[in-house]
Amino acid sequence: MARLFSDRRALIIAIGLLVLMLVPLAGEVFYTRLATRMLIVALAAISLDLILGYGGMVSFGHAAFFGLGAYAAGILAFYGIQSGFIAWPASIVAAALAALVIGALSLRTRGVYFIMITLAFAQMLYFLFVSFRVYGRDEGMAMKGGRNVFAGIIDISNHVVFYYLALAILVVVAWALLRLVQAPFGYALRGAADNDRRMRAIGFPTYRYRLAGFVIAGGIAGLSGALMANQSLYVSPTSLSWVTSGDLLVMVLLGGMGTIIGPILGSFAYLFLEEALSSLTQHWWAIIGPLLLALVLFTRGGIYGLLMGTSRRG
C-alpha cells in the first residue's frame, strides 16, 4: 500500500513537471505570464503549508512576509540597486527577520490568539507602508529600472527565461521542504502540533522548533514576494493585506495541507478559476465559494487527496 501511494505521488509529480515544462511552448505570452504567477504564488503557499500543515500554526498574517520580500526588492530598485544577487537575498533576510520577531512574540500564544496576533502584525506592516509617501502610499510603486539583473548570467527580462527560473526555484524549494519534513526536524514540528505538552515533557524544545519553522516559512515567502515584484514590475501594500493571507490559506486548504504538493495544486486551481471566472462575472467568488465548501465538507486532503485516492471521509 505504501509503495502504491509513493508510486502514485511520483506519477503526479512527473506529469505535473512535464506539463509545466511544456507551457512556454504554447507560444502565448499571456499563458506564460499567468503560469509564472501561479508558480510564484505556489512558492508562498508551500511556505505557509510548512507551518500550517505540519506545525499546526494557523497564521492569518503570512502575507506580511510575502509583501516584505516584494518591498525589499522594490525599494532597492528605487534606489538604483538592480542586482538580483543583492535584492533577492535581501528579500529573504528581511522577511526571515520579520518572521523571527513576529514569531518570537506570536508563538507564545495558541489558537485564536495566535491567529489574531499574526493578523495584527500583518496589518501593522500594511498601514506602515501605506503611510510612506515616497513609496507611493496605497497606490504602490513601479519597479524602477525593470526586472532585476544577474550580471549577464541570466536575462529574466525574457518571459520564458523568467518562467523557467521560477519553475526551477519552486522545484528546488519544494524538494527541500519535502526532505525537511521527513527529517527529525519535521517529525518534531508535527509532534509539537499534535501534543506540545508531551513533546516538551520528553525533552524537545518545541518553541524553538516552531520558531525555526516560522522563520524558514517567512524567508521562503519573502523570496516569493521578490519574484512577484519582478513578475508584475509593481509593488503594492495589498501584498501585505489580510486578503492575500486569506487567499494563501484557501490555496493550502484547497490543495491539501500537510502535503507540500497539495498547496501547489491548490494555488494553480485557485488562480486558474479566478482568471477564468472573473472574465465571465465580477461575482466569481459566488461560484468558487460553493466549490470550496463542497471540497472541504465531502473530501479529505483536498485536490491532492482526490488524486491520491485518499479523499473519502469516513
Task: Give the tens place of pLDDT for each residue, 169-189.
Answer: 999 999 999 999 999 999 999
Rounded Cα distance, 97 and 106, in Å: 14
Residue 182, C-beta contacts closer than 8 angstroms, at least 6 positions apart: none
Q: One-letter amino acid identity for 260?
A: I
What pTM does this model have? 0.92
221 in a structural domain: yes
β-bridge mates for residue 149, sequence order: 83
Contact 68, 125 (CB under 8 A): yes
Does residue 121 belong to any structural domain of this protein? yes
68-113 pLDDT, tens digit per residue, is 999 999 999 999 899 999 999 999 999 999 999 999 999 988 888 8
The candidate with the shortest Cα–Cα distance to 241, out of 39, 62, 46, 42, is: 62
Whether the pLDDT of residue 5 is over 80: the answer is no
**Average pLDDT over the chain, rounded to whole?**
88
Q: Look at residue 202 and tell me if it is in a domain.
A: yes
SS3 142: strand
CA 181 to chain centroid, in Å, comes to: 16
Give the CA angle between residues 182, 183, 187 to the nearest 5°.
75
Contact 91, 220 (CB under 8 A): no
Residue 155 placed within a domain: yes
**Furthest C-alpha separation in the chain:** 59
| HSE toward the beta carbon, residue 103, CA cutoff 13 A | 25
How many separate domains does the chain show?
Answer: 1
Three-class DSSP labels, 108-147? CCCHHHHHHHHHHHHHHHHHHHHCCHHHCHHHCEECCCCC
- Name the amino acid, one letter, at 169: I
pLDDT digits (tens, 9 = 90+) for 187-228: 999 998 888 888 888 888 889 999 999 999 999 999 999 999
Residue 117 lies in a domain: yes
- Where is pLDDT greater, at 30 or 50? 50
Burial, 180: exposed, middle or buried (Cβ in 10 Å; 0-12, 13-18, 19+)? middle
- Cα 198 from chain centre: 30
Please tell me the predicted confidence (pLDDT) of residue 11. Answer: 83
Q: Is residue 152 part of a domain?
A: yes
Given this model, what pLDDT does residue 313 score? 45
Residue 176 in any domain: the answer is yes
Distance CA 205, CA 114 (A): 19
Domain that holds residue 85: 27-241
pLDDT digits (tens, 9 = 90+) for 263-288: 999 999 999 888 888 777 777 777 77
Helices first, then strands: H and E counts in the chain: 13, 2
Say whether pLDDT at 295 is over 80: no
Amino acid making up residue 245: S
Q: Higher confidence at residue 8 or residue 78?
A: 78
Does residue 310 lie within any of the structural domains?
no
